[in-house]
Amino acid sequence: MLTRASVALRACSAARGARALAAAAAASPPPPLSPGTAGGEQPPSGAPASAAASPTAADDRMDFPGGSVPFSRSPAWVGGAFSPRAPLPCYRTLDASGREVPGAAVPHPLSREVAVKMYETMVRLQTADTIFYEAQRQGRFSFYMTSSGEEATAIGSAAALSPDDVVFSQYREQGVIMYRGFTLLDMANQCFGNMHEQGRGRQMPIHYGSRALNFHTISSTLTTQLPHAVGAAYALKLDKRDAVAVAYFGDGAASEGDFHAALNFAATLGAPVIFVCRNNGWAISTPATDQYRGDGIAGRGPGYGVATLRVDGGDAIAVYNATAEARRVALEQQAPVLLEAMSYRSGHHSTSDDSSRYRAAEEMRQWRARDPVARFQRWLVDQGWWDDAADAAARQAARREVIQALEAAQKAPKPPLSSMFEDVYAEMPWHLEAQQRQVMAHVAAHPDACPADIPVK
Amino acid sequence: MAAAVGSSAMAAALAQRTPAVGPSGAKAPVRRPCAAVRASQRATVVAGAQKREMMMWEALREGLDEEMERDPTVCLMGEDVGHYGGSYKVSSGLYKKYGEMRLLDTPICENGFMGMGVGAAMTGLRPIVEGMNMGFLLLAFNQISNNCGMLHYTSGGQYKVPMVIRGPGGVGRQLGAEHSQRLESYFQSIPGVQLVAVSTVANAKALLKSAIRSDNPIIFFEHVLLYNVKGEVHAGDFCQSLERAEIVREGTDVTIFCYSRMRYVVMQAVAELEKQGYNPEVVDLISLKPFDMETISKSIKKTRRAIIVEECMKTGGIGASLSAVIHESLFNELDHEVLRLSSQDVPTSYAYELEAATIVQPEKVVQAVHKVCGARGLVSA
């Protein structure tokens, strides 16, 4: 409700802020009293008698350039150790074992076709994560990151989006791009950095990007994609397109300044962005308890005037419904929406990490018992849409496809040496042409300088 | 890799360069989401009649207005650019014509609105991001270097970032250290961005129009002291090549390279030098990345002497990289080592005398010419 303030298109500057704040104030509960201050209606002891005179209507509120707020007679603190609030609840439709929660709202029921596609993508994602991880351990490529424990967040949200929606991701959302049509061979090509990969071998593994799939190339610097998503939403809004921008990020990334700027910018601009935070509990070795003091990431949304929902990130149906609703709200209200998907990073941060050094085996065991893919599978079986035979066949097919993709991608030639000077600019400037010519002259004079698997041109 | 670039290699590279942009416009239009609207808008561009005199801020405003009219994907974002019209009036009143969405007032967060510009540019717009002061753009350095400059490359050419980052820089009048920065060289080494410094009313407008039409991210340096400089703009829909230097004055004794406000400092010195019987050539670099080596080398081959006058720092400045490339590629053409006149390697002071002593003054230019050419005329050694 708070975001109704940001719905209104920007109008005359004087009215702009005032309207926003008035709307926010109207939708907010009255400010709670500090536990340490008894009786908000009473003037604080020691206050001059004149301060207690009955206020006129004009004295009821503080009007200022940003809006209007009611006066209070007591120094009523809010937040911190004062008036701690109950945490925002977490929406779910399936329990930990995958049984439907009685009475759970499902405004966007899954069709059999979509549900099966979601599950099959999860199977391919799990299989790819397992085998790609092993391939990295074998030294076939330099780096990998699994998304174990967060499959339902990626795929549940991806299924609720339109192909026209513009996606900006962090680095643990390969399920999203897979659901959009990125093949296992595309992934393998990217991890090997070969000549068939869209990024032309310029980024480390898992930095996928596909313009055709409206999935922006991943940057390693955390959270820079959030302002990009706001800019993309601004472009969509100017063009009056029936599409939203979607930005994925983790709980650690939400500590970056870009998170705060992006939410504030999106709210003031009325930009149709869905911010999807994967709160998986760990930023490499830093637990969420060391990352923030408030009510998670969702707790920040209302402060920015952004409609917010916390969802069980391990419940694919809840994530699908939350995202579909977020999309509807973002488009109808032309406003941003924040989703916080509560989940757990079941794997290590990356192939450069050993998480058993900093987190308890029992914690990991408990979360793995609530595996999101198993929960969703249970639900599918309960619907009569899936069975053990189908599961075995799907896993076997995925395994075969992953192995074939890795073999083919490893054999493919690397991008040619000459291409390293391309795409720096729209057209190659003279200084890059000169450097390119020098490199080519060098390898012509010293053929051994260029490894055998890298073509020169 | 950064070893000497032979002059023959460079000549070959130069020969393949794209031709300079003339009055007929820049590159072929690129199809983007709003292309249909843009095509119809393009017909509305009317050639102006005569050369007209105005101030630089007015020329920039006119260039911006013309580009916003011909292309609905052009938009301006930043602090106070909409209703307020920009701190130096460059977008004054334009929100009335194009609306608040295209003249977008943003909250204050440089890295935020820079990132927004990058995202918008990758989604079909041609955003211009105004920094209220170039010094503040250091807060946006992450987006400029890690994203704006890199994404075209790391995406394998899938995503272009056609945006202009512009605003006032340089040393003004007693604005203190943070408001008086010479940041050109900070940005020069970022792969993927192109640097342009404007200096006159005519080139400010014509270069802004080209920058907006370019598919590269352009960092567009205006100078805080030049907004009220008067001059004529070119008639009609005139664009100027972003990669070409301007020969300000032809001469034979020495080439003085400069850019931005230093052009005026140099020309003040030249007035004195003329009286003393010197005939220097003055070249305004315009393009700080890439350098226009064709013009630079032609001039040095003629004069055989070079002085670089810049407001940038001496250490790691624009002059440092220009003198390196001149020494590497034109060593045999020189009769004297290249001299650099740069700002001192200190933050700019507020106190007027200290501020003036931080940057190059005309007398220094006169002295440098004496040193390089030898004393003559009225001057005694």
Contact B142 A434 (CB under 8 A): no
Other CB atoms within a 10 A radius of the CB of residue A368 amount to: 14
User: Within a domain: residue B2?
Assistant: no
- CA atoms in the 13 A half-sphere facing the CB of B196: 29
Q: Is B52 found in the same domain as B197?
A: yes
Instruction: Give the separation between CA A106 and CA A113, rounded to whole angstroms.
Output: 17
Instruction: Give the separation between CA B253 and CA B251, rounded to whole angstroms.
Output: 6
Q: Is B85 found in the same domain as B195?
A: yes
- Give the best residue of B116, B215, B287 to mutate against chain A (max A CB count within 10 A): B116
Q: Is B351 found in the same domain as B203?
A: no
Percent helix, strand, coil in chain B (nearest 5)?
A: 40, 20, 40
User: Which of the two residues, A27 and B309, has the higher pLDDT score?
Assistant: B309
pLDDT at A33: 37
Residues of chain A with C-beta less than 8 angstroms from the C-beta of B154? 199, 202-203, 207, 209, 217, 219
pLDDT at A367: 87
CATH code of residue B295:
3.40.50.920
CATH code of residue B51:
3.40.50.970
User: B22-43: string of b/e by CB count within 10 Å (b at 16+)?
Assistant: eeebbeeeeebbbeeebeebee
**Is residue B294 among the annotated active site residues?**
no
Q: What is the pLDDT of residues B110-145, one digit of tens each?
A: 999 999 999 999 999 999 999 999 889 999 999 999
Q: Is B339 found in the same domain as B197?
A: no
Domain stops at, among B169, B203, B233: B233
User: B303-324: string of b/e by CB count within 10 Å (b at 16+)?
Assistant: bbbbbbbbbbbeeebbbbbbbe
Q: Is B190 found in the same domain as B301?
A: no
Q: What is the pLDDT of residues B243-298, one digit of tens each?
A: 999 999 999 999 999 999 999 999 999 999 999 999 999 999 999 999 999 999 99
The token pair at B2 is: 């950064």
Q: Is B176 found in the same domain as B147?
A: yes
**Is residue B179 among the annotated active site residues?**
yes
Contact A230 B158 (CB under 8 A): no
Q: Is B229 found in the same domain as B250?
A: no
User: Within a domain: residue B240?
Assistant: no
pLDDT at B304: 97
Q: Is B251 found in the same domain as B226?
A: no
Residue of B nearest to A270 (CA): B101
Which residues neighbour A77 within 8 Å (Cβ) at sequence distance 6 or greater? A34, A36, A37, A83
pLDDT at A191: 97
Domain stops at, among B208, B233, B258: B233
pLDDT at B263: 98
Q: What is the pLDDT of residues A323-366, one digit of tens each?
A: 999 999 999 999 999 999 999 998 999 988 899 889 988 988 88
Give me the tens of pLDDT residue by residue for chain A, a chain 457 residues long.
233 333 333 333 434 444 444 444 444 444 433 333 333 344 444 444 444 445 555 689 999 998 999 999 999 898 888 888 899 999 999 999 999 999 999 999 999 999 999 999 999 999 999 999 999 999 999 999 999 999 999 999 999 999 999 999 999 999 999 999 999 999 999 999 999 999 999 999 999 999 999 999 999 999 999 999 999 999 999 999 999 999 999 999 999 999 999 999 999 999 999 999 999 998 999 999 999 999 999 999 999 999 999 999 999 999 999 999 999 999 999 999 999 999 999 899 998 889 988 998 898 888 888 899 999 999 999 999 999 999 999 999 999 999 999 999 999 999 999 999 999 999 999 999 999 999 999 999 998 888 877 888 8
Residue A205 in 3-state DSSP?
A: coil
Tokens 């007035």, residue located: B271
Which residues neighbour A46 within 8 Å (Cβ) at sequence distance 6 or greater? none
Quote the domain boundaries for residue B337.
Answer: 246-373
Instruction: Give the separation between CA B70 and CA B43, rounded to whole angstroms.
Output: 8
CA A301 from chain center: how many Å? Answer: 14
* B11, pLDDT greater than 50: no
| Total structural domains within chain B | 2
Residue A391 in 3-state DSSP?
A: helix
Crossing angle of helices A225-238 and B110-121, rounded to 10°: 60
The amino acid occupying position B234 is: H
User: Within a domain: residue B13?
Assistant: no
**Catalytic sites of A, residue numbers:** 134, 220, 349-350
Contact A231 B118 (CB under 8 A): yes
Domain stops at, among B176, B198, B233: B233
Residue A65 in 3-state DSSP?
A: coil
SS (H, E, C) A104-163: CCCCCCCCHHHHHHHHHHHHHHHHHHHHHHHHHHCCCCCCCCCCCCCHHHHHHHHHCCCC
Q: Is B167 found in the same domain as B107?
A: yes
Nearest to A231 among B117, B154, B160 (CB): B117
Beta strands in chain B (DSSP E): 52-55, 74-78, 103-105, 126-130, 164-169, 194-197, 218-223, 230-233, 246-249, 255-258, 281-284, 287-289, 306-313, 339-343
Asked if residue B371 lies in contact with residue B253, where contact means CB atoms within 8 angstroms, the answer is no
Nearest to B123 among A9, A166, A257 (CB): A166
Report in angstroms the alpha-carbon separations of A191 from A292, A338, A406, A407, A450: 33, 31, 9, 12, 21
Residue A338 in 3-state DSSP?
A: strand
Q: Is B282 found in the same domain as B151?
A: no
* B13, pLDDT greater than 90: no
Contact B146 A261 (CB under 8 A): no
Contact A229 B119 (CB under 8 A): yes
From edge to edge, which strands make up the β-sheet containing B74-78? B103-105, B74-78, B126-130, B164-169, B218-223, B194-197, B287-289
Q: Is B142 found in the same domain as B61?
A: yes
B290 part of contact set with chain A, CB < 8 Å: yes
Tokens 């579909």, residue located: A324
pLDDT band at B352; cut points 50, 70, 90:
very high
* B70, pLDDT greater than 90: yes
What's the topology of domain A90-411? Rossmann fold (3.40.50)
Q: Is B317 found in the same domain as B176?
A: no
The token pair at A88 is: 């925002």
Q: Model-level pTM?
A: 0.86
Nearest one of A255, A176, A246 to A223, comparing CA atoms: A255
pLDDT at B19: 37
* B3, pLDDT greater than 90: no
- CA atoms in the 13 A half-sphere facing the CB of B35: 6
User: Within a domain: residue B296?
Assistant: yes
pLDDT at A58: 64
How does DSSP classify residue A89? P
* B48, pLDDT greater than 50: no
